[in-house]
Structure 1
């Protein structure tokens, strides 16, 4: 599919006014930010930063006057009790003139598009889009652009670009999440705060110990096993331009104005050079400044292809800046450091101890006071030489610094001075091109037309006709000199045409007045909010859903349908135990595809329904998995939006169930997914037990499959801990496949060990070590009409599988109380059980009422 070649936008993160000004002056084409309403929930994934709803019209006018687009993040899952508030905010955003909404929730994307068809919708990276099929699914919900997953290589991005004409946006700089965005439930599991709701607790930045076959593995200086470095793809910009990518995005709405200015300017320059066919001209000093501004270790990481030894170094989880040397010893007053970079008094330095202390304690560091060599204070030291570094009294304890420790510069006062022109500018620094046309005919009023890069034009005239010249007549050179004086306006003159007739004369003061008036009018025109058709749609949508719900509701019968148990197993040994208990269906979720077919046959032979679970992520080279899954003749548990799209036109497709990873959080999304051919949907893990009940009331309990027992999948990551820490290989071709021969778990600071499993694409899932049980909520779910319950196993033994199934069957038969069920499950669990994401917080009943269908 041919793509139109476009010059990519440079998009910058904005957490407040200083960052916004920095982005504009550094040359951003677009900025993205969140908006917080005066009351109620803010629907954006960086809850601590952003702008108020009241100031949004002024923000958009400011941006548009400078030729910058403003994209608003609406990138969280929206709950049913929030839908009315969400609609009110969507209407305000559309009225305020925002240029696009960045949306995660599929149902909300469709709602926003129906409210204002003129407002572009961009599918957030939290939609986990890694294929052309995933992009096409987003198009079904109103998106015109998608933000691709950060785990894609340039080759993957190119394949997607060749298969869809959707606008494509990709991250090029900033922090990486270890988990696929939209697929992380660690904050939900361990803190009751959802990353899909803008409340990430950054559990990936914590230290972990690795257990291999039950024994702790010594990993040297690596403790932060899930903390990736930062993305730096400046050198990949020419290839992204060649591929036709529409937007290059910088991550960092929590970063300061210096970071925004430096990164924006760097990528602005790189895009301009690539578009002009020039080689990248970034200097070592410029690259060092980017590293100094913020870095956990910069690299292209997944964009350059798979290398599991590079993404996670594991020494530290926080900003490091630039490495400036290595500790060689200590003195009474300071630290001896062999320097690799120049350092100056006032620099902020930190000594990196990695993993040699227990407990770790604080890192040593402070602001450099001075440098000494051979007993004398010196102004500078050449790289490669050793100097004594001294700090303020008590800033550094030499006893806590050891030879070999890396030394990092975390703060550089010189950097602030270099970036200050972009942050404290009076007049605009980055200007946009305008073309001018001057018409000057004797006896007619002179007219000046200014046209901006978007084709908007204004024409201004003087009150009096042009008079004959007595001395110097108007000419094109003189016009270019005076009309090009656009300093302070945000414009520069790119081209001038003149239509002159007769030797006319115009005083310089009148030419200047003409220029000023034209620039002012053009700026006012650019700042106007667009006219849009905006119609509230939620009540209409809910009414239609209510009518459909009544029409589809099962007819009353004399007998209440019996509850059904669906069991998911991950090993042949677990399958043996499950077959002996004969649940209503068995789902196979195997690492090895080769074992699936005989296991499917075994389940079918004993007369049970069988499903196979799809991967949660499908990349462009993995589409053959769809054919393989269909070839098994089993039902499919659909975990990937791209797979769901790919199955739309498949004839005689098997029965499909949508899993939690499709992130169905409300009636709009759940119904839309059901309309794509799913028989049932498992709600997202962002819902608590009461919200699952609410959703059942809105879509029908027969359309939901709730998970009653599982190990919550807290991280789902492209980064393979098996390959990184149990091999010297870079990917599956040379790692030796330790995932097939070892059991691995990551133990957190509380002592809980969390199992790690790999899927067919070598992606890892880290599971909560304690099973999450729904015992205290099952009676409410049954009363709400729910009848389909799933039990999922990870590292359970066959005996544990049997006992968990039996306990749930006994409860559903009325032979066990909820308390007895929970006690039985607690006895079977090696590390105890948890209520996890199902916990219903105090005050839930005071939330707004459910929408009425």
Structure 2
């Protein structure tokens, strides 16, 4: 288990008590979250969310929201995918339904959809999803431009990074504290798109990061031992960092796991509920060893604070296995004819689910031995318990475990503990409310007047209930505060508890207990109904108006010459590109020091020059903006934070927005163009036909499309170079092996995918095969597109020159599509692919969005 939090960080903004937000995939998880004390839950409703297999229906939503509000819990709906042009009308209808159903906020990835939602319902709060790749105050401010009042920060930020952001913006901040980590920055992963046509930005992640890979260093396979799952991070566990997050003024702590079961939701919610309450009260964290073990048992690939506590590339990805491991309970010491000899580190019992972990590098098929424990034996006799440190023979049901496939030294993990379910059952299966919200009560009882009880909840909402008859004088025992507190405090079953009571008694009066109970029930029912009311909101369709308000596409000039833009990543590639004289050259170098002389070389050749920005900029990296501008070159803008930082800057060069800004529809593309971009490269989530349709909506002259390039399948803070080619923890002590070695990851199909580091030490894993648009060039040209980019990764200077020559010939009509594709396939060592540009047959089901 991880140790305590890092050294204290000074508060950056007013201290607030953060919400505890829980994941909900269905009704059982919803109940578990509420009873465990969640302040808010997040879930999906039918389409347009990133966990397509779970969630609720549109019909269920109003009742779900009413129930949540009655219990004082907020409901946030995930609308966190990129939306295509053909879906905008359906998206508008769905946004209207969410607003009318009383959802407390929508969590949005798509900037254009965020702006549309604000137009449809100005009263509906918008939260910028972590898939907006927000890692700086500038990135948060960009989300605010599009209507966001809160942003979910990237999971790669440290406590110090969060503190810097909190000090620089007053927008609400939300951060993940528990659950699975993606190896890629959210919103910047295209592995599912590249290898299966399933976009992670569309809720269809295929989890290619959880697969094993071989590491190729300078063309040679590097032995990884038990770390073949080198892109599969451990899970986030930040319970010990809660006090720091409270001090930093973070508004919401978020638990990941909409695919997890109700037991996971109950345990994690209860743990973070208690931690927040203790931190807010100034008390030390009181988590017990059993509570930590329960969290590990519920679901764990290995729990740690990871990036929150700072960068250590040796620990984020252990690489031994990609699955739930739970609690380690022992080590294999041998086998018997009927079982396995295990030195136990934890108590185990019949019914436990155990797995013997061989580290799958020794079992290529990936199969693991394990099953439910039948019994324990010592000295040939069955025993009930075995103390930690002792040896025991573990036996399983017939055929469950093959002892021949279990080896001495293998760790033994308990992946299922039946006792854990029993411990959380009161939260998961509660019939009456377990977690209650405070109310204050005021009783007025004057003889001769009707008695009245006013209840007020924690948000200041009040209701008053009265009895039909005036209060009669007391004959024997008169009403007093102690008796009233006893009867009015009986709020069991209501979801409330009495926090304070004031009384106003006028004369000795009397009420029977039955009347007091009736008054209490009436007031509690009124308060519950009041809390459950949906907010009144202004909701109106606005899509057509928004489309009309945008820039009208200008018809392209008659048959202008196509332009070739080339992106290179090494000085050797630059030499080849200069000789081919494309219309522009973009420099995307690992080392910034090499940029200035290369910029001068391109400019001296009379060719337009651009430099590419990093895709991610953390708070201390925003000063890169000054350096990039000092080069006097055009900018290929890849970071939303950088785009925001450039707003209002004087004497800006030509700006082009890259694919990483995730322009998937006309609304987002126009919005980005309005921020000073001359052209935008559509997201890799669009196929070739969608790019053509987007060109008709924004004007083909406003798009720059990638005709040749390697899809950036993973973009990750985790550095493979540091992890496997050094003993260091980060750039300060790794020796910079990225500057002297070429690295690639070979998948189970035998394809090698190059890995490159950027100036921030972030790694990009590129699809090994170049993605080519040869089959679509004719259609793109007919649509008026004229700006085509060719991007190179590990190509030789000779390959660079030939790819440029072939595309110039194809755009001039000298080489047909089939011939172009054939030459490119022969040129590439692993062949080529259409990749994300492929147009599936089902694409035609939705009508195209007309140009207004």
TM-score (norm 2): 0.98
Q: Deviations over 1:352-386 (max 9, x none)?
A: 00034343341000000111111111111111111
Show the counterpart of 2:184.
179
* Residue of structure 1 in register with 2:449 after alignment: 444
> 1:133, 1:92 → 2: CA distance?
32
Aligned to 1:417: 422
Question: Once the 2 structures are TM-superposed, how far is the Cα of residue 845 of structure 1 from its aligned partner?
Answer: 2.4
> How big is the shift at 1:544?
2.1
- 1:777 aligns with 776
Cα distance in 1 for partners of 2:21, 2:387 equals 38
Question: Following superposition of structure 1 onto structure 2, how do residues 103-122 of structure 1 map, counting pairs within 5 Å?
Answer: 103-122=108-127
Contact 2:177 2:253 in 1 (8 A): yes
Aligned partner of 1:334 in structure 2 is 339
Say whether 1:481 aligns with 2:486.
Answer: yes
Distance in 1 (CA, whole Å) between partners of 2:601 and 2:373 is 70
- What SS does structure 2 have at the residue aligned with 1:762? coil
1:518-538 CA-partner distances (Å, limit 9, x unpaired): 000100111111100111110
Partner Cα distance (2:369, 2:842) in 1: 44
- Counterpart residue number, 1:353: 358
CA distance in 1, matches of 2:539, 2:287: 45
For residues 640 and 27 of structure 2, the distance between their equivalents in structure 1, rounded to whole angstroms, comes to 37
Distance, in Å, in 1 between the alignment partners of 2:517 and 2:850 is 60
Structure 2, unmatched stretches of 5+, are: 1-10
- How far apart are the structure 2 equivalents of 1:414 and 1:632? 64
Residue of structure 1 in register with 2:22 after alignment = 12
Does the Cα contact within 8 Å between 1:96 and 1:529 map onto a contact in 2? yes
Cα displacement (A) at 1:469: 1.1
* Alignment deviations for residues 541-600 of structure 1 (CA, whole Å, 9 cap, x no partner): 11223xx315x555x5xx521000000000000000000000000000000000000000
Paired residue secondary structure (1:560): coil
Q: Is 2:159–2:308's contact at 8 Å kept on the other side of the alignment?
A: yes
Give CA deviations for 1:664-711 in whole Å, capped at 9, x if unaligned. 000000000000000000000000000000000000000000000000
Selected match of 1:252 from 252, 257, 268: 257
Residue of structure 2 in register with 1:842 after alignment? 841
Q: Unpaired runs of 5+ in structure 1?
A: 37-41
Q: Distance in 2 between matches of 1:825 and 1:817?
A: 12
1:120-162 Cα shifts (integer Å, max 9, x gaps): 0000000000000000000000000000000000000000000
What does residue 757 of structure 1 align with? 756
8 Å CA contact retained: 1:81, 1:851? no
Q: How does 1:105-504 map to 2 (within 5 A)?
A: 105-504=110-509
Q: What number of residue pairs does the alignment pair up?
A: 842
Q: Which residue of 2 aligns with 1:698?
A: 697
Q: Give CA-to-partner distance per residue, 1:265-318, whole Å, 9 cap, x none.
A: 000000000000000000000000000000000000001100000110001001
How far, CA to CA, are the matches of 2:740 and 2:199 in structure 1? 34
Counterpart in 2 of 1:681? 680
Q: Separation in 1 of the partners of 2:346 and 2:600?
A: 64
Match of 1:35 in 2: 45
Q: CA deviation at 1:815?
A: 1.1
The CA distance in 1 between the partners of 2:831 and 2:251, in whole Å, is 49
Contact 1:13–1:260 (CA<8 Å) still a contact in 2?
yes
Normalized against structure 1, the TM-score is what?
Answer: 0.98
- 1: CA distance between counterparts of 2:843 and 2:399? 49
CA distance in 2, matches of 1:634, 1:782: 28
Q: Aligned in 2, Cα 1:837/1:166: closer, same or farther, shift over 3 Å?
A: same
Q: Tell me, yes or no, if the aligned pair for 1:220 and 1:355 is still in contact at 8 Å.
A: no
CA contact (8 A) 1:11 1:249 kept: yes
- Asked whether the 8 Å contact 2:179–2:256 carries over to 1, the reply is yes
- Any idea what SS the aligned residue of 1:4 has? coil
Q: In the aligned structure 2, how far is the partner of 1:499 from the partner of 1:744? A: 78
Displacement of 1:806 in angstroms is 0.3
User: Structure 1's 434 and 665: CA in aligned 2 closer, same or farther, altered over 3 A?
Assistant: same
| Alignment partner, residue 642 of structure 2 | 643
